[in-house]
Amino acid sequence: MTQENAMTNPEDYMPLREVVFMTLRRQILRGELKPGERLMEISLANKLGVSRTPIREAIRMLEHEGLVVMVPRRGAHVAEITRQELNDVLEIRKTLEVLAIQRACANMTDRDIRQLREAEEAFAILVERKDADITALGEADEHFHDIIYQGTNNRRLIQILNNLREQMYRFRVEYLKDIDIRQMLVREHDAIVKALEIRDTEEAVRLVTMHIDNQYRAINKALDERDQEESAKNAK
Amino acid sequence: MTQENAMTNPEDYMPLREVVFMTLRRQILRGELKPGERLMEISLANKLGVSRTPIREAIRMLEHEGLVVMVPRRGAHVAEITRQELNDVLEIRKTLEVLAIQRACANMTDRDIRQLREAEEAFAILVERKDADITALGEADEHFHDIIYQGTNNRRLIQILNNLREQMYRFRVEYLKDIDIRQMLVREHDAIVKALEIRDTEEAVRLVTMHIDNQYRAINKALDERDQEESAKNAK
DNA sequence: TATGTTCTGATTGTATACAAAAAACACAGG
DNA sequence: CCTGTGTTTTTTGTATACAATCAGAACATA
């Protein structure tokens, strides 16, 4: 999203607010800033070596992204995300991913699809090597889906889907650590590419729907386990 | 400006950035600020009687809403919206409106549906009286759809749909002035409520799809006419 | 102890000051 | 008349200053 801007813009000047925005965003998505954690302007400003102004503007952006919540006169904190909300997001994503794959199936060039195959293989290789870290895995997965999104030729759709996916990056750590799930992802990606290669829209739609449904189950299972650990810890 | 409000009711205090945000947003949606028009911080600050800080923060929010575009070091301007983008938005809306009506059909209480019927009637009455201004019509229409959205019980979906609809408020003036279209809207709303009343999901989906398709045609027709006038004017 | 109250420091909201870049202008030279 | 160049003005980007409000400590009182 923003990388693209930097690419297309020959001069790679970036307002500090953008730098701050990306920094905070990354920290939230990686879980370095935890849900509920307070974002205090002065300490952030000191930590990042800038004044409060760009911090505040970055917070305004994160706020609209849904990653932070503002309480007037009481500052910003990292947005909690309830399971209900997570499932709401997944429901929307399912609908829009179906739309995306339909458009992609109609619009992607053969060259695009070859590129998608490459991305799929790169992801598969990372999964094979057990030593890959979760961030790298997440990025490879992200890249795969990005190519499909680009194939829709619908900028707004791309933007919305990216934003919805983003909400879930925060749970990557929770569910990408399961080896079985990783391998399932690889099989699903492979099947999706195959369907696109022969332009079988219906099959692609079916696979994508399944892909999201599986993700729904995987994430909820991971959260169940985490919650159980939590309550066990609190009980002791 | 709003200081009085804040005085009388300390509970719903609003930061200036919110006031500025809503003011600018309304002006953009009503067409008082035209696409491409530049938003200059100092003059806006003077006009609204505040400093640049809240102006800048409001612009950050509008930027993320997609209503303004920033060019670094060159300021903000009201976002142009191409016909391509408009159609992209409508395509997404169609998908999500279908999801929304499905959920609404399953979740809305009978009381909700009665409320929807009232909103439908209010809109119909406004259409009958030919003197109603377009803003009022737009708001009544908005209110009707809002009730359906609320019925989805999916906050994120509501937020996205509102944002997508918002993009089109900017064209209200273009196409709501046609009496025939207004009456068509009334008939469609009526049919949708009827379908909800008997919980006929399939029929409701069919109607909503048609509703958006008609909107697609209506807006594009209105834009065609506007463009023709434009080119006629330029030719002379 | 519990409860309320006043003060104090911390934190956000807003305004302003200053620096840097871009745009507008003016003017010399072809 | 056009064009390039240097200068001024405007505008954005960032930092800082000040005001308003809030949270919590210290204290007093029942």
Residue A129: what residue type?
R
Distance, in Å, from the CA atom of A140 to the CA atom of A146, rounded to the nearest integer, reads: 10
Query: Is A61 in contact with B64 (Cβ distance < 8 A)?
Result: yes
- Nucleotide whose C1' lies closest to the alpha carbon of residue A39: C11
Regarding predicted confidence, which is higher, A233 or B216? B216
Q: Which of A120-134, B28-42, B169-183 comes out lowest in average pLDDT?
A: B169-183
pLDDT under 70: residue ranges of chain A? 1-11, 233-236
Whole-model pTM: value is 0.90
Instruction: Classify B236 as helix, strand or coil.
Output: coil
Residue B236 has pLDDT above 70, yes or no: no
Q: For position A208, what pLDDT does the model report? A: 97
What pLDDT, on the 0 to 100 scale, is given for residue B233?
Answer: 67
- pLDDT, average across residues B40-45: 96
B125 min Cα distance to partner chain A (Å): 34
What per-residue confidence (pLDDT) applies to B134?
Answer: 87
The helices-and-strands tally (H runs, E runs) of chain B is 11, 3
Statement: the CB of B41 is under 7 Å from strand D: yes
Please report the sign of the dihedral spanned by the C-alpha atoms of residue A2, residue B158, residue B104, residue B124: negative
Four-point Cα dihedral A92, A94, A96, A97, nearest 10: 150
Q: Which chain C positions come under 7 Å from a protein C-beta?
A: 11-17, 21-23
Using an 8 Å Cβ cutoff, are A59 and A76 in contact? yes
Indicate whether B22 pLDDT > 90.
yes
At residue B10 the predicted structure's pLDDT band, cuts being 50, 70 and 90, is: very low
How far is the C-alpha of A79 from the C-alpha of A82, rounded, in Å? Answer: 10
Residue A148 contacts residue A100 (beta carbons within 8 Å): yes
